[in-house]
Chain A
Amino acid sequence: MGPGRCKIGGVTSPTAPVDTTGYPWPIETTRLANGLRVVVSEDRTAPVVCVNLWYDVGSRHEPPGQTGFAHLFEHLMFEGSQHVKKTEHMKLVQGNGGSLNATTNPDRTNYFETMPSEHLELALWLEADRMGGLVPALTQETLDNQREVVKNERRQRYENVPYGDAWLRLLPLLYPAGHPYHHATIGSMEDLNAASLETFQAFHQQYYAPNNCVLTVVGDTTPAEVFALAEKYFGGIAAVPDIPPAPDGNLPGPATEPAVETVTADVPAPRIYLSHRTYPFGTPGYDAVTVLATVLGSGRGSRLYQRLADGARIAQPDYIGSYGVDLAHAPAPLIITATAKDGVALETLQEGLADVVRSLIDEPVTDEELNRAKALLTTAWWRQVSTAGGRADTLGRYATQFGDPAAAADRLSRWLAVTAQDIAKAAAETLRPESRVTLTYIPGEQA
């Protein structure tokens, strides 16, 4: 296929000029007097509306001894607020046909519900009540209960599954002590056990402020309606002056010494994770890394699959790949993983992986590889924005992290503009063995 065959979503040749917009829907924004930024993207095709709030607070804000607090706090936001009784939040959203959730990561905390559009006002009222009125409803009993729920989440997702703690082990190897990404969002059991009610009250008062939030509404509504409702429900919440920033995430460059950790654990097969710090999400360098990760490890046409799963047949085909973790406040990690096939020595897999990673530096990416990666990324982009929820979260991200929701429209075209030279340059800068983190799991009795 050639350029011009498909106006949007098409695969263009690497040299063709790219003018693809990744966001062909309207975007309107306003800012309330208290600093709340409001983003609206109207789309009448389905009778649903998504309300999404990005609070610019994540685990990178947590001081030592308080790891896991941002995430535990996220749980407390569902347990009632000034005018919403305990358990009522979920009941009102689900009981009116909606889906809801929230997530916390190192960068930020987001809350979102997609509702039949006649319940837009209810969703805004619920969000405003917990932004402005959580503290009076917060009780020791709720904290104790949700602390146990979070500890069970930690067991279920990280402790009770083979290789489940890889992310927890990689972060401190990638980022030095004191760095905002040094610890994982789920936190430590010790810190969770020590969490006091006063800390959470203070946490809310500090960070859950209208001027630290972006409210995005996407779907079956109008900007005028949303702006008026935002003023009605959020307008009376006071701004918080002087919100302290997270510790600085700047790093002088890639790591200068490799880090190696080997874990003997109850796992079914040897597995290797390689990881490097790259560039912050949103930079040209990270766009190159995104395409690089797809060339390297996404799909059966990727180098890792073709060379190690299909070619040398030393890696299990279902457990090989690479991906970037889209973090914006410091150089974000690229993670590369492979699991040994039965009877394959760990060293063989290690050498094979290192060879494929090195190939990104000294073996230019072909047009075919590049086009394949860009086509997959194009589909992934359209999939992400195929729902009101996906669109709202995307706009909230760009408004929060780059000050402009409309910047979302450029991401796809920036990926499509990445050249083989860009990839080679990013690989040469970030994927050198001397900056590599290697985490290896070996089956055996746990030490």
Chain B
Amino acid sequence: MTLITERPGTGAARPYAFPAVRRLSKHGGTVIAAHLPGQILASAVLLLDASAAREAEGREGTATVLAKSLEEGTRKRDSAAYALALEGLGAELAPSVDWDAFRVGVSAAAPMLTDAVRLAAEAARTPRLDPADVARVRDDEVTALRMDWAQPGPRADAALREALFGADGRYRRPLHGDPASVAAVTVDDVLAFHEAWMLRPGVLLVAGDLNALDLDALAEAAFAGTSGKPLTPEGPLGVPVPGSRRTVLVDRPGSVQSTLRIGHRAPERAAPDYVAMTLAATVLGGAFTSRLNHLIREVKGYTYGIRGSYAMTRRAGRFEVAAGVQTAVTGPAVADTLGEIARTQREGVTEAELEVARSWRAGQLSVEMQTPGAIAGALAGLVVHGLPDDYYETLRREYLEATVEQVSEAAARHLAVDGLTLVVEGDAAVIREDLAEFGELVDSEI
């Protein structure tokens, strides 16, 4: 048997290009479309300035209840007729809510897309919102959240959010609310949210073979009957990081793993060193060969996987490490995690590590952006963060040109090992003592 011993070199690189972008302002709104020649599938996303951040205090989850009520019939047809009309095109509605926007997405074969968008807009603009239906959807959502919260993770996520954003109004509660806040949502809350935020034109994002799509017809389908001007964006929330570490213990009796959510506040998406921060987090906990995954999975075998990242939205950001670790090694896993965060903050990154991070992030722009859905998501990023159409080419270049100094400096500035909140969700009776060494410990009320 013979194997080729020498690792091959790199072939000739094809130039990177984001799909050609076309903009069309028609029928009261703007369509931003990316051309994917030969793609049979096409995706569209109606992007509305109706994020979870617009919900009232104590009624967190209002937008999510609205999202789930959109398919309970429209002024034109009942829920069964709506489902049949949309699914008969091969499309399913994908409404979603995040911290920056409300999205209503549909995917279908290109010739069906205009009809699918017309139905999506019908649900988004003119939902029936019968009070009995909304109340039932709300009750179902409470049950669904209880189901979700029985899994490891959501309670830890909520505890970390409460700890990091306790003074920031809506941002202190989970994106989709919690079982109590959703239970408090009234039919009027949902109707008022729809009335206040869903009727401006918004932006329609389209990705597909533009030779097979009629952008004018898509604009007409998306923006019919809308009015109003775009809203003025609000400013960032700041980056308060506490002076000392604290541990929050979330009890999950009998849990065979402990769920770790370790984090602190970070800048919002517009941070000037976004690229350097992303690369620092990639070295620490983003790539498979990251410091955290290497030590805690590949050397110690404590976990199936551990990730560290910055999540950055328009108004706020946070750094977080997330993992599920075997209960018996909870203490050592936390200690090793803190050790790697401290080392990265203190010493920065090496050229060898950065080389992996740069190439990976740059390559992912082509590897992970193949589908119409992924491209439509990339277009949404341009709109939400006010970025130019050629942004992804710029981003790729910035990834490839980032230096060890820039990335190490970002790690030093945006990691704060002494200001971390350590949320540990697990069997408190077993792990409580192991956590004592990490500083002040409080039991979560979540």
Contact = CB atoms under 8 A, between A and B. Distances in A.
A269 B366 contact: no
A237 to B, nearest CB: 6
B350 interface: no
A48 B359 contact: no
Given A118-B14, A128-B3, A268-B150, A97 B38 contact: no
Contacts of B370: 46, 48, 386-389
Contacts of B107: 379, 383
B88 A48 contact: no
Contact of B288 (A94, A124, A378): A94
B363 A96 contact: yes
A90 interface: yes
A8 B364 contact: no
B292 to A, nearest CB: 14
A233 B109 contact: no
A341 B140 contact: yes
B12 interface: yes
Of A119, A305, A371, A382, chain B has the most CB atoms within 10 Å of the CB of A382
Residues of A in contact with B, size category:
35 or more
Interface string A305-334: 110001001001111000000000000000
A186 to B, nearest CB: 11
Contact of B256 (A124, A128, A160, A372): A160
B135 interface: no
A318 B88 contact: no
A160 B152 contact: yes
A305 B79 CA distance: 11
A243 B57 CA distance: 65
A303 B19 CA distance: 40
Given A90-B288, A155-B257, A379 B108 contact: yes
Contacts of A299: 83, 87, 92
Contacts of B39: 45, 386
A422 interface: no
A314 to B, nearest CB: 12
Interface string B236-271: 000000000000000000111100000000000000
Interface in B82-109: 83-84, 87-92, 107-109
A161 B324 CA distance: 12
Nearest to A309: B140
Interface residues of B, number: 81
Given A6-B109, A95-B355, A379-B108, A339 B147 contact: yes
Given A96-B359, A383-B107, A383-B371, A376 B90 contact: yes
Interface string A379-401: 10011001111000000000000
Contacts of A306: 80, 83
A446 B6 CA distance: 56
Interface stretch (A146-154, A275-283, A351-359): A146-154
Nearest to B301: A148
Contacts, number: 255
B36 A45 contact: yes
Nearest to A388: B370
A368 B88 CA distance: 8
Contact of B87 (A153, A233, A237, A301): A301
A98 B109 contact: no
B144 A153 contact: no
Contacts of B147: 162, 268-269, 316, 318-319, 339
A43 B256 CA distance: 46
B299 interface: yes
Contacts of B9: 121
A173 interface: no
A262 B144 CA distance: 22
A140 interface: no
B326 A155 contact: yes
A271 to B, nearest CB: 9
A227 interface: no
Contacts of B288: 90, 94
B366 to A, nearest CB: 5
A372 B88 CA distance: 4
Contacts of A11: 88-90
A162 B151 contact: yes
A99 B301 contact: no
Interface stretch (A61-69, A109-117, A430-438): A109-117
B110 interface: yes
10 contacts: A99-B364, A118-B11, A122-B8, A152-B324, A236-B1, A301-B87, A341-B143, A375-B89, A379-B91, A386-B370
Given A83-B3, A161-B151, 9 more contacts: A9-B41, A47-B16, A125-B4, A148-B301, A149-B297, A152-B303, A152-B326, A375-B91, A386-B370
A-B residue pairs, 10 tightest by C-beta: A97-B363, A148-B301, A9-B109, A236-B2, A375-B90, A47-B14, A95-B356, A379-B90, A301-B83, A300-B83
